[in-house]
Amino acid sequence: MNATPAPQFAVVGLAVSDLAASIAFYRRLGIEFPEGAEHEPHVEAELPGGLRLTLDPESTIRAFHPTWRAPTGGGRVGLAFRCESPAHVDAVYEDLVGAGHHGELKPWDAFWGQRYASVHDPDGNGVDLFAPLPETAG
């Protein structure tokens, strides 16, 4: 048995094409970034449970990794935000779509017992919104 402790998952990092647009998007979802973060080369926000979300502009990544190329297409990472209620899913979806973000999947009552919707962040990453549906009497 190895006495070395296992590494702990700590960060979700996103390479972003427009830092200000990404910060604005994730702030709409309640993530708190420091004031003036839009002008920094790297931004971090603490998430509930101790995880961190980091945003790095593509130009910053290329400065440290000259051979790095931005991924093409979406679906390389998915994030999900739990909402307070099914109505909250609808409201957050409408807020984001109303702010000009792409609504990938309108809110619906999923067969697994959740109100579910999906939007894209400014770089096309899928961001799901969900809330448990009220239990119905059988």
77 vs 108, which has greater pLDDT? 108
Q: How far is CA 32 from CA 5, 29, 46, 48, 65, in A?
A: 31, 9, 8, 11, 28
Judge whether residue 118 has pLDDT over 70.
yes
Give residue-wise pLDDT tens across range 65-83: 888 888 877 667 889 999 9
Give residue-wise pLDDT tens across range 59-69: 888 887 888 88
| pLDDT for the residue 55 | 94
Kindly indicate the confidence band of residue 137, based on its pLDDT and cuts at 50, 70 and 90: very low
Domains along the chain? 8-66 (3.10.180.10), 78-138 (3.10.180.10)
| Cβ–Cβ < 8 Å for 120, 128 | no
